[in-house]
Structure 1
């Protein structure tokens, strides 16, 4: 039987921050505040054990993907959503069998000697539920949709699992009229991402029979915003030969920091309102590759456990950048190979082994400003078928890790090589 085509589309949108002023104490015009102002909220007593069982896999997946993408993007900005990519692969795994499925779950970091398949499924379902839990301090939501056609019916068991484990909506679409289907899907993405991602699909393959959407949306503000009046033009050293002028934000305040002598980098944690925070990692000049190669679950844990609260002068560039990746080679680097070949077994979708993935694309957007952060990501998987405080200035390439505390998830991961590169 010839291959038929499916198109899996994941639309991710994270860290959307309103540009309006956030009420709250900034410690006066100069941004000073007392140490007790930055104390973290007490841990809740909610049971997050199911989600935490897969947290290790999630962070390992994020760091592996980062190293693969960074190695393919020498000298360029890097930014992506590992949660969006993982959700895409989970959706594909729902329809996969045999070696095809084994490669996907292995690529996700799932170790059957440490966690059962049931625990992995329950953990991912709990992660989605946790990220969708309403919070008065920020907005965070994640969801999925399957656009399907009656001419290519999916097995009821797969549809039920998509609803139960991945909170997916099932939406009928007419793929006999590709422009109509494209408009329908793009409108869905635009609505779910509050207009931040528009016209995501440029075209659909004539043989497309299904499109899967994953979106993640977050709106958040810095716990302690930067004063726009303190933003000044300063030099940013891309490398030894290239320097650019950037809008450098400035704030004198209490932050959790750590100086990693072994790797030669500064780590600064900046909290958003609520359970969200970002780690900025500034390698010494010439040490970027060393830090990137060392990036791992263990290293992130070390940094987290070593952070100490103290007053610093923080200078952080405003950033606006966009990235785009073809993920086929990235996923192959994770050992996920068969799903792209004629030997792919995605028969759990329909009962027939007549599908394969033809391409996987990820696009992302990052905007860091005085009041918070805006970020968006979309993945397309197509199937065919102190006196003077210490001075920390991020004036050379640095890493960005945006995470959610309760689920211990890495929502976004990236590298800023040039803040002015759009």
Structure 2
């Protein structure tokens, strides 16, 4: 048999559709330090003083996301949207099938220091992260999953199949890749069902030499803690996509208590919007002409600095209702952040089938977000941050998102970054 070419696909969706509660996949771990500006959860019970295993992976996922975002921003003029949790967990799962230099390159490309954190601890961290994210919640619907499609002629190693199922909840399916068109439709249909119809046509084509597909999908739905009144939405508000392009978009409005700040150093307004469930949205609105400055400032220490300075205040908020998506083939982007050898013929994925000669031919990632009035159905020196004014019943600061902005969506318990993006055209679909 010739080279076993593999695809690695990540699919994610934030959608405004009804779906059934998800089954539990594990026990809830105690709370951890929260995303920027969020109040800490109740202290962990005394009988469990060991930090949850996902502490070892969540910060690295965030750093990986910010590095990847900057590469995407350098090559993408319009909207950007991807799932750091989805993509990083798919790559970590792939590392389970790698040996030799290929395995450490994947994990180090994600940003892990293998002299400080062993590969076993990394995989255990992802296991606990995925289990915790998949726990049912009455106020938030979140589903993260992995699957493998292996050509029926392959004989996968049982140890590999057991490991990916135990650590990543991944099920393996036999597929006929000699009929690439039919198999592609079957995988697209599988993704469509897992994301409740929101992510479709991930695979435009499968090469005749494709033998394995790794699939990751993520679904998120939550309501705002303070919903917008649909009657207040203005249908044709101006949105300046760039210096020469002005769009007309639906603009949601509310006057409500929110945690926010103005960062003079970065020249941006930073707003935190809470969901009724265990998630929050961080919006970054650069001053006109300052998007590149804000993107350059996207660092873990910047997020921590903002988290320490948020103050609650009444805010006059204008936020576009939008639906955007992001679709990427990352084989040109990942090598720029250190993940290179998986695309070489010398890559060693022999833990999957026992065959050495295999490599990754495509890394595809697609995410859809729909944000509306009900919700989303997907440090510095002192003095650099200007605090919002105190509560005033007659007037309030205004945050008018009428130009491109950044969005970071967090799951609170695990402090994990579910989605990261930039909204340049709210009506791009």
Task: Tell me if both proteins adopt one fold, taking TM over 0.5 as the criterion.
Answer: yes
Q: Which residue in 1 is equivalent to 2:418?
A: 411
Secondary structure of the 2:154 match is coil
Query: Per-residue deviation at 1:222?
Result: 0.9
Structure 2 Cα separation of the partners of residues 391 and 189 of structure 1: 40
What's the CA shift string for 1:369-391, capped at 9, x where partnerless?
1111233xxxxxxxxxx130111
**Residue pair 2:8, 2:364 contacting (<8 A) in 1 also:** no
Q: Which residue in 2 is equivalent to 1:26?
A: none
Structure 1 Cα separation of the partners of residues 308 and 302 of structure 2: 10
Q: Does 1:257 align with 2:260?
A: yes
Query: Per-residue deviation at 1:230?
Result: 0.7
Q: Which residue in 2 is equivalent to 1:305?
A: 308
Structure 1 Cα separation of the partners of residues 16 and 276 of structure 2: 11
Secondary structure of the 2:200 match is coil
Q: Which residue in 1 is equivalent to 2:364?
A: 361
Q: Which consecutive residues of structure 1, in runs of 5 or more, have no partner in the other structure?
A: 21-38, 376-385
Structure 1 Cα separation of the partners of residues 40 and 60 of structure 2: 26
Q: How does 1:395-410 map to 2 (within 5 A)?
A: 395-410=402-417
**Residue pair 2:104, 2:114 contacting (<8 A) in 1 also:** no
**Residue pair 1:17, 1:221 contacting (<8 A) in 2 also:** no
Structure 1 Cα separation of the partners of residues 9 and 81 of structure 2: 18
Q: Which residue in 2 is equivalent to 1:138?
A: 140
Of 213-222 and 59-68, the range deviating more from structure 2: 213-222
Q: How does 1:9-408 map to 2 (within 5 A)?
A: 9-13=9-13, 15-18=14-17, 42-43=41-42, 45=44, 49-74=52-77, 76-232=78-234, 233-375=236-378, 386=392, 387-408=394-415
**Residue pair 1:19, 1:371 contacting (<8 A) in 2 also:** no
TM-score of the aligned structures, taking structure 1 as reference length: 0.88
Number of equivalenced pairs: 392
Structure 1 Cα separation of the partners of residues 9 and 284 of structure 2: 31
Aligned-residue Cα RMSD (Å) equals 2.0
Secondary structure of the 1:159 match is helix
Secondary structure of the 2:223 match is coil
Query: Per-residue deviation at 1:178?
Result: 2.9
TM-score of the aligned structures, taking structure 2 as reference length: 0.87
Query: Per-residue deviation at 1:44?
Result: 6.0
Q: Which consecutive residues of structure 2, in runs of 5 or more, have no partner in the other structure?
A: 20-37, 379-391
Secondary structure of the 1:164 match is helix
